[in-house]
């Protein structure tokens, strides 16, 4: 199956929050009490019960006020740090690029949350499980588009084949740059290429996004260097013990208590059988 992509064109986003409502409705997530954070933003971060929300940034410069709005959710990375960090093998990536958590395997250790460069997964303190956007994998596998894409009225969200949609995203970028010269695509290369690719109107930092997201070095060292070496070392040590035992056995180094090395009959000092 060819990898899919969701193109989020922030130049078309009106901040209606229909995507948030659609996500909660489809995934049967309860509403949460919110309060004003800044501008029209009412959610500060993800929670185990809120997997997507809209950020609002007001930027006043050159006597002009700009609203930078972005739908926030899991990026579904091509090289997901959460998958590498998961100790219970609860996180996997589907053929079309969606990163999902198997709740039956999740032990709520929180390593996925600690290592995600975007701070997406959140652990439910009561259930001891990690939660995040699923990319509506259940809809996608049945030929439907993700709920957020389906409900987006301004057309800020588009779903399709990655290569074809990337080409459209680059065309749109060229158009937008006439008004926003600092506009760029975010997610084409980052983290191995993310499933959600954004057209940002300004630098990632304006949207409170890391400029160069990456898998933590400590996690890379653990997974790709220390762990494999440790496995080899433990295996080598075990093999050395086995070889030592066999060698000692062949040399007759093991005997019954009080008996001769060859297991024969004991003889007295005078040479008679005892």
Does 179 lie in the same domain as 249? no
Does 38 lie in the same domain as 63? yes
Rounded-to-integer distance, Cα 64 and Cα 142, Å? 45
Q: In this predicted model, what pLDDT tens digit does every residue of 208-255 receive, in sequence order?
A: 999 999 999 888 776 666 655 544 444 545 545 555 555 555 555 555
Q: In this predicted model, what pLDDT tens digit does every residue of 54-80 receive, in sequence order?
A: 999 999 888 888 999 999 999 999 999
Number of separate domains in the chain: 2
Q: In this predicted model, what pLDDT tens digit does every residue of 41-54 receive, in sequence order?
A: 999 999 999 999 99
Q: In this predicted model, what pLDDT tens digit does every residue of 203-218 receive, in sequence order?
A: 999 999 999 999 998 8
Does 139 lie in the same domain as 26? yes
**Is 267 inside a domain boundary?**
no
Does 241 lie in the same domain as 178? no
Rounded-to-integer distance, Cα 223 and Cα 215, Å? 11
Single out the residue of 30, 21, 22, 75 nearest to residue 48, CA to CA. 30
Please give the full DSSP string across 33-74, using - where no structure is assigned: -----BTTB---S-BTTB--EEEEEEEEETTEEEEEEEEE--
Which one-letter DSSP state was computed for residue 94? Answer: -
Full residue range of the structural domain in which residue 66 is found: 4-215
Beta bridge partners of 2: none
Show which of 200, 215, 230 is a domain's final residue: 215
Beta bridge partners of 157: 8
Show which of 162, 187, 215 is a domain's final residue: 215
Does 14 lie in the same domain as 72? yes
- Residue 236 to residues 233, 242, 246, Cα–Cα distance (Å): 5, 10, 15
Known binding-site residues for [4Fe-4S] cluster equal: 13, 16, 19, 23, 74, 77, 82, 86, 106, 109, 112, 116, 133, 136, 148, 152
What number of residues does the chain have?
274
- CATH number for the domain spanning 62: value is 3.30.70.20
**Is 272 inside a domain boundary?**
no
Rounded-to-integer distance, Cα 261 and Cα 200, Å? 80
Known binding-site residues equal: 13, 16, 19, 23, 74, 77, 82, 86, 106, 109, 112, 116, 133, 136, 148, 152
What predicted TM-score, i.e. pTM, was given to this entire model?
0.81
Does 102 lie in the same domain as 32? yes
């Amino acid at each position: 199956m060819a990898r899919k992509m969701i193109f989020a064109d922030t130049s078309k986003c009106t901040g209606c929050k229909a995507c948030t409502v659609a996500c909660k409705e489809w995934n049967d997530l309860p509403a949460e009490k919110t309060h004003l954070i800044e501008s029209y933003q009412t959610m500060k971060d993800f929670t185990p019960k809120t997997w997507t929300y809209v950020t609002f940034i007001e930027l006043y410069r050159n006597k002009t006020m700009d609203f930078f709005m972005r739908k926030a959710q899991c990026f579904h990375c091509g090289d997901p740090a959460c998958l590498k960090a998961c100790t219970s093998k609860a996180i996997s990536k589907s053929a079309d690029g969606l990163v999902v958590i198997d709740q039956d395997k999740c032990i709520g250790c929180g390593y996925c949350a600690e290592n995600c460069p975007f701070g997406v997964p959140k652990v439910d303190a009561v259930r001891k499980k990690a939660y995040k956007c699923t990319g509506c994998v259940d809809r996608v596998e049945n030929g439907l588009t993700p709920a957020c894409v389906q409900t987006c009225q301004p057309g800020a969200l588009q779903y399709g084949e990655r290569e074809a949609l990337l080409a459209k995203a680059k065309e749109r970028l060229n158009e937008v740059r006439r008004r926003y010269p600092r506009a760029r695509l975010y997610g084409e290369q980052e983290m191995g290429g993310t499933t959600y690719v954004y057209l940002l109107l300004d630098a990632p930092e304006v949207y409170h996004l890391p400029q160069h997201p990456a898998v933590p070095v400590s996690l890379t060292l653990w997974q790709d260097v220390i762990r494999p070496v440790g496995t080899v070392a433990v295996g080598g040590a075990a093999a050395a013990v086995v070889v030592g035992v066999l060698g000692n056995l062949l040399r007759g180094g093991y005997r019954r208590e009080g008996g001769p090395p060859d297991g024969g009959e004991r003889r007295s000092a005078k040479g008679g059988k005892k």
